[in-house]
Each structure stands twice: as structure tokens, then as C-alpha cells.
Structure 1
């Protein structure tokens, strides 16, 4: 039996990067996953890859076109989960965005508005739509993909780090507020990883030399990989973490320790 056998999950930003790995990891552990993404072609392709890979895991993947900044899409996601599978157990607020690394004074208002909508407002909408359902159900797992920048923001990504600091603080507050209702709330704080946003975070071209240089700043001598985040997500979403809530878990190779 998989660690998420029979669980129903909605994973946002699941068409690529960390989200795709989380969706794949959940399905491999027996969950039925709504692969939610604004990028239709990416999401459909991820579902195909998951289905081809998983075989008889017992899980499944279903694509859902999804804009995390629209309340109606959150309502649509909840309705699909409950009508297709009878319930919803897990929400992974993974979708996020940033701007190319640059001095804070050069960040445009449009860039700032975008990160607020995707990284901050989406959490509010998720909570306002899904939390009443979890409270009525008497159980639920909220999991966010935050960042080490939410704890220690570095020059060039200050406003982005602020949005992840919001997620970290809200994670702890929601855990305290809704723990008595049976809802667990945690976040994962990855280090810069091998995803489509890598060059945005680094501000330079993605080359083997640049990766090697960055790895020297990490105690475990590499950047994060999507599978690192997926394994942490599986644990936090599973019953193995039944007494874990309000945690912002660094998955960073020790980066915050230096």
C-alpha cells in the first residue's frame, strides 16, 4: 500500500519543476492527483508522463487548467475533486513566480503586482475556498512550496523573498488556527533548484560552470532537485507526519546553516 493510498490531492503549478515532481511522487504513492496549471500543454504532457510511468501504483493523474489568482478556478478544483473522487484531502500551493534577479529599485510595478498575485493572493484564495471544506470534513493537509528566501532573503530577490516570508508566517498562523479542526498546514522551503525559473533566480545563464560555482556555497555541494522536494512533500502529506504542523521545512542542503 502506498503512503498516500486513496488520498485525493490538488497540486498547483504541477505542469513543470517542483510541482510536476510532487504530482508524480504523490501518484507513485497511490494518490489521485489533479495536476493544476495555467500552462495547458505542459500539464497535459506531465499527466501523460505520469500515467506512462506509474503502472499499477493505484494512483492517477488528471489535468486541470488552473489560474491560481482566480477564485473561480479554486472553486472549480474543489468541485472536480469532490464530484470525480468524492473528496479532497490535500492541497499543495506550489505555483509561484519571480522576476529576474535585479536591484530592488529596478523591479517594475508590473513585476511586483505579478508576484503578489501569484505568490500571495493565491494563498488567500486557496484558504477562503478550500479551508471551509476541510473544516467541515474534519481533516485536510495544506502544503506550500515556499523558499529559503522566506527566511533569509538575499540581494536581488528582496520582494520575492517577502512573498515567501508571507507564506511562512501564514503557514504557522493557519496551523494554529485550524489545527483544532483537524487540518495540518506546513510548507517546504527549497534552495534554488533545477527548474524553469533557475535563470531568473540566478540572474545569469544556466551553465554547468554556474551550477558548480553555486554548489560550492552549499554544504552538501549541490542545488536542489525536484525529487528532493517531492520526497519531502510526500512525507508531510502522509500520515507519517500526522503530528507535524506549522513547520516551514528547509530542503536546502544546509544552505541556511552558513
Structure 2
């Protein structure tokens, strides 16, 4: 029987469902990962083997094949470790196939069996909610998954804790919601700028009317200094904008622990940055 675990791959901020298929067959002992994996996914073999060994489990001397479907989609990232490990545990009858059938799984494994945080948990949780599934993610990302709505969330810190939960000897509690501060962040203030009255007036008009703004002038004239004060003039993001901004930070791994981005982000690329560096290669 082939064990199947659902996870996701990322295309920008979009999530694509990936079916992790694990098969153990007779033959010379081998451990192969197919389905266009990158280097980080291929190295999952050693991390998974060591994590299972840390729990006192050894892979059987069989031909193990891991297929990541769809096979023509490039798989990147270390979050495939946990779904591969759970598929192997299901094939070894340590856990039941039905235990993992209704979850989307992401997580990176340490050599000691710990589960470390990964990026992209929020969009993966939103994908799981849309498919009417739960999500299994690292404990460090559990609070982040709560923003996706009402879905079952298992956020263990170690692989043994997840196995014990499925066996009924330990119950994983739902992650606690993070506290969201309503006080504004300390942003650069327009009052710090002395002079530049015309430029400050233009900044205020652009902020009030939602207009685009093009700054032109010699180096040192204050363009970056003025632009850095613009987020302080703008209102907080609404719920939809905050969620979209948080998804981008989640995929890039820049999201504060369980936080929700409510202030408008400000980026200051170097003047020599190329077009691919600005918009993505």
C-alpha cells in the first residue's frame, strides 16, 4: 500500500497542492526522492533517517521511493521533511494512514527529531481551509496558522509528540492566539524634517488622495528621507490588505512570531538595483 500525505509547493505567494506518495517495495535497500526535487528536498532523506533514528526507529531494508506529484513541478524548500517522515511512519504502521489523510503537512526536521519552523504556513493554512482539511505545522508557526480561520491545527515541537497524539497517549493543544497590539508602531515622523515645505505638502496630498508620487532630484536632496515618512501618514491596513501583506511576509520568512502585519510596508532598494531585483527574477 502507498501512503499519501498532502503538502504544498509555492509559486510566488500562491500555493499548489503536492501529493507526497511513499512506497516501500521489495528489492535492494534504497531511498529515492523523485518528482523534480531541489537540493534541499533531496537532502530530506538524511534528515528524516536521522530523526527516526533519534526516536529508536530504523528504516526497513527495502526499496523506498518518495514521489512528489505533480512530477513536472519543481519542489523547493525544507518543509517537505515532515510529510515525507509521516508517510514513512504510515508505511511502517507506526501511525495509521487515516490519521494523516485529512491534513496538509509542512515542517522541517532536525536530526534529533525536533520540528523547526518554515516559511509559508499562512498561505498553506488558507489552502487547507479551502480544501476543508486541517494543518500540521511546527510549533513555532502554530499561531500564524490561526489567521486562516477555523480549522484543525496540530503544532508539535517534536515528531514524538505528533506520534503520541495520533496514538492517543498525548493530546496536542490548539496554539494560543498571539496578542495584537493596537498601539501604532514608532514610525519616522514628518515633523523631523526642517524645511522642504513644498515636498512635504506634496507628500501629504499624495497620502490623502492615494496618488502616485515620483521624486526626482540630486543625491542628498531628501527624497529617501521624505519617502520613509510616507507610511506614517497612511492609515492602517484593512483586514484584507493586512492578510495579503502578511502572506507575502510569511512566504519570505520575514513574519514576526504569529504576528499580523497591520502597518504599510516600506522598502528602500539601492539606486543601482536592477529591474529583476526590484520585481523578482
For this structure pair, what is the TM-score category when the shorter chain's length is used for normalisation? Answer: under 0.3
Mark the structure with the bigger radius of gyration. Answer: 2
Structure with more contact order per residue of length (Cα contacts < 8 Å, sep ≥ 6): 1
Calculate the TM-score normalised by the size of structure 2.
0.24
Higher helix share: 1
